[in-house]
Amino acid sequence: MGAAVDRYRTLRLCANGGGYEAVPNREDRVDLPRLRDALAGSGVEVVDARVMLIARLEAETTISQRGRILIKTPDVALAQRTLARLLGVLDTVSASGSARSSRSG
């Protein structure tokens, strides 16, 4: 895995126990249109809600504009696989251009 892994803390269980969350180590903006295109190009169904994407990976996954990732499953192994796949796509997008900017906001 590439640089995207270093941007995220370990998954943590959400307060309601219904999913897992990955929070970036520092707040960055995600280039959602590029990520949407990369996910869709790899056959993933994606809903673009402007400030977030909802991707149908192994588990339904929400990616916010600020980099927070919510994986909707109580199964930690499934959440880890889903996050690994998403981070792989983020690395691919980053390698082809900037999927993230250093701006906060």
**Domain of 41: which CATH number?**
3.30.310
Share of the chain above pLDDT 70, in %: 84
The per-residue pLDDT for 21 is 95
Let me know if residue 55 belongs to a domain. yes
The per-residue pLDDT for 3 is 61
Q: Quick check: 10 pLDDT over 70?
A: yes
Return the number of other C-beta atoms located less than 10 Å from residue 36's C-beta. 18
Let me know if residue 20 belongs to a domain. yes
Mean pLDDT of the 63-74 span: 94
Let me know if residue 87 belongs to a domain. yes
Write the CA distances from 32 to 17, 74, 94, integer angstroms.
27, 26, 12
Let me know if residue 104 belongs to a domain. no
- Which range (2-6, 47-51, 87-91, 96-100) has the least confidence? 96-100
Distance between CA atoms of 102 and 74, rounded to whole angstroms? 32
> Domain range for residue 87?
3-95
Counting the structural domains of the chain, the total is: 1
Q: Where are the beta strands (DSSP E) in the chain?
A: 12-13, 20-22, 29-30, 46-48, 52-56, 60-64, 69-71, 100-101
pLDDT (tens digit per residue) in 17-50: 899 999 888 877 889 999 999 999 999 999 999 8
Let me know if residue 60 belongs to a domain. yes
Let me know if residue 102 belongs to a domain. no
Greater model confidence, 97 or 67:
67
- The pTM is what? 0.82
Let me know if residue 58 belongs to a domain. yes
The secondary element (H helix, E strand) that includes residue 34 is helix 32-41
The per-residue pLDDT for 103 is 39
Let me know if residue 100 belongs to a domain. no
Side-by-side strand order, sheet with 20-22? 12-13, 20-22, 69-71, 60-64, 52-56, 46-48
In sequence order, the 6+-apart residues with CB closer than 8 A to the CB of 49 are none
